[in-house]
Structure 1
């Protein structure tokens, strides 16, 4: 049997999923043990017990200065900013994508503009955002919006252009006007794609959030990572990185589940 036609069974698939993570963990802890054996005060590769102590201190012990639990406070602050940024980006991206893809009079100026905006490195304009919007929450949210909205809009615009022309012609033949076409034909086709596009830009959204929090913030996951880096506190940094990765994965999983439940026909109709 050709390799391209071989598919793992359920237990085999589970083993293949676990294998790379197990190898990474083994490589890390072997390297950590070797470094700590040479220098017990080494901070580059902390042991599992050191990271567990740091997690207990950050997540389950009250901070003496604020009286709160730092990990959960940072998580709440970051997730709030991320949710607002993703929500605004989704609405703006959907509106711009429909306008540039379905309405030629709007598409002529919008499509080139979206291409140019999507090429601007958002982190390069971060100082401008802080100057314009200040150092508060608005600048952090706007970095996410500016960073991912053009990408969402371009993706949705392309999906509109790929819709069969016969579908739109038939709807117009039945008396549909422009608004009816957008609301009853185009929008239902774009909503499941919007969820997929949001999944694809989650990593970029987290990157922009962490960068903004690292530069100008008093709380948040990015703020905490860059605060403790001056002490080489890898026992705190590494669990925070793992926690951010877990949160991003859970968000991706939630969006995927939402898409399957809200639009079961979309995945089923794809080849």
Structure 2
């Protein structure tokens, strides 16, 4: 049988999915053991014991100065900013995408604008945001919004233009006006795509959040990573990076399950 036609069974799928992570872990443990054997004070590749001690210190022990558990405090601050940014960006992206993709009069103006805005590197205007909005929470949330809204809007716009014209004509034949057409025909087609678009921009949203927290913040996961980097505290940095990755994966998984639960017809229809 040709390799392109072979489909692994369930057990093989699980094994093949775990394999690259296992290889990376083995490579790290081997590299860490080698470096620590040569220099027990080496900080570049801390051992599992060192990272476990750092996690205990950051997550399970109260900070002497603040009396808080730093990992959970940082996580709450970051998730609050990220959630606000994603919610605002999703709302704006949906509205702009619907207007641009459904109404030609708006699309003529909005489509080129969204294209240009999506090409602007958000991190390049971070100093502008701090100057205009200050160093408070709003500027950090706005970086996420500015960074991902044009991407979401362009994705929604493209999906809106792919809606069969026959559906729109039939709805108008039955007496639907523009507002009814958008609410009853267009939006149900676009909402599952919005959730998928949020999955696609999650990585970028985390990037903008970490960058903003690293530059101007007093708490948050990005702030903590860049704070301890001056001490070369890789035993703290690596668990924080792993924790951020886990949070991002859980959010992606949650959005995927929400899409399947709320719009079970979508994947079948696309297939």
TM-score by length of 2: 1.00
Partners of 1:2 and 1:194 in 2: CA distance: 38
Q: Which residue matches 1:112? A: 112
Partners of 1:124 and 1:52 in 2: CA distance: 37
Q: Which residue matches 2:226? A: 226
Partners of 2:22 and 2:222 in 1: CA distance: 27
Partners of 1:94 and 1:229 in 2: CA distance: 38
Partners of 1:57 and 1:11 in 2: CA distance: 38
Q: CA deviation at 1:36?
A: 0.3
Q: CA deviation at 1:270?
A: 2.1
Q: CA deviation at 1:2?
A: 1.1
- How many aligned residue pairs are there? 271
- Superposition pairs for residues 190-205 of structure 1, below 5 Å? 190-205=190-205
Partners of 1:261 and 1:185 in 2: CA distance: 20
TM-score by length of 1: 1.00
Partners of 1:55 and 1:98 in 2: CA distance: 45
Of residues 99-108 and 213-222 in structure 1, the stretch that sits farther from structure 2 once superposed is 99-108
- Superposition pairs for residues 73-112 of structure 1, below 5 Å? 73-112=73-112
Q: Which residue matches 2:43? A: 43
Partners of 2:149 and 2:37 in 1: CA distance: 49
Q: Which runs of 5+ in 2 are unaligned?
A: none
Partners of 2:99 and 2:132 in 1: CA distance: 28
Q: CA deviation at 1:90?
A: 0.3
Q: Which residue matches 2:55? A: 55
Question: Residue deviations 1:46-103, cap 9 Å, x none?
Answer: 0000000000000000000000000000000000000000000000000000000101
Q: Which residue matches 1:154? A: 154
Q: Which residue matches 2:167? A: 167
Q: Which residue matches 1:248? A: 248
Q: Which runs of 5+ in 1 are unaligned?
A: none
Question: Residue deviations 1:145-181, cap 9 Å, x none?
Answer: 0000000000000001111111101111111100011
Partners of 1:5 and 1:156 in 2: CA distance: 34
